[in-house]
């Protein structure tokens, strides 16, 4: 019997991928753009400030995808925690990852914990 994908986690994954595509295109154009040296330095500095947030968000999307397709609770929880860290690293962009974070925590709670083989042998 094939399990269905967790809908909340799938939505979180899709929104996360869309956010990464948007961020990469936006910050890719912004980095080093500007007419003079001061504008270039400013845009490069802004990109470097946002980079840890984007890195955490990218890792969260990867772990969300692993948790979604491999159906592993640990990956889902790791992705949710990484979304939380991304918010802490750059609180100004919280609105871009708060939905993914909430949906990831909900998905983690919805996923059933698999019993270990050693636990079932102990009960016999």
Domain ranges of the chain: 7-111
Q: For 55-105, write each residue's pLDDT tens digit.
A: 999 999 999 999 999 999 999 999 999 999 999 999 999 999 999 999 999
Task: Between 117 and 58, name the one with better pLDDT.
Answer: 58
Q: For 6-58, write each residue's pLDDT tens digit.
A: 899 999 999 999 999 999 888 877 766 667 888 888 888 888 899 999 999 99
Contact 12, 100 (CB under 8 A): yes
- What per-residue confidence (pLDDT) applies to 119? 52
Distance from C-alpha of 94 to C-alpha of 72, rounded to nearest angstrom: 26
């Amino acid at each position: 019997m094939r399990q269905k994908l967790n809908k909340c986690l799938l939505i979180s994954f899709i929104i996360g991928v869309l956010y990464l595509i948007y961020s990469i295109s936006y910050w890719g154009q912004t980095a080093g753009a500007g007419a003079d040296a001061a504008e270039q330095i400013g845009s490069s500095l802004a990109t470097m400030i946002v980079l840890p947030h984007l890195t955490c968000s990218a890792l969260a999307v990867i772990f969300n995808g692993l948790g979604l397709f491999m159906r592993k609770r640990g990956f889902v929880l790791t992705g949710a925690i990484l979304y939380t860290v991304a918010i802490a690293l750059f609180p100004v962009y919280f609105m871009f990852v708060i939905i993914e974070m909430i949906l990831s925590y909900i998905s983690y709670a919805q996923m059933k914990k698999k019993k270990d083989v050693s636990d079932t042998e102990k009960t016999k």
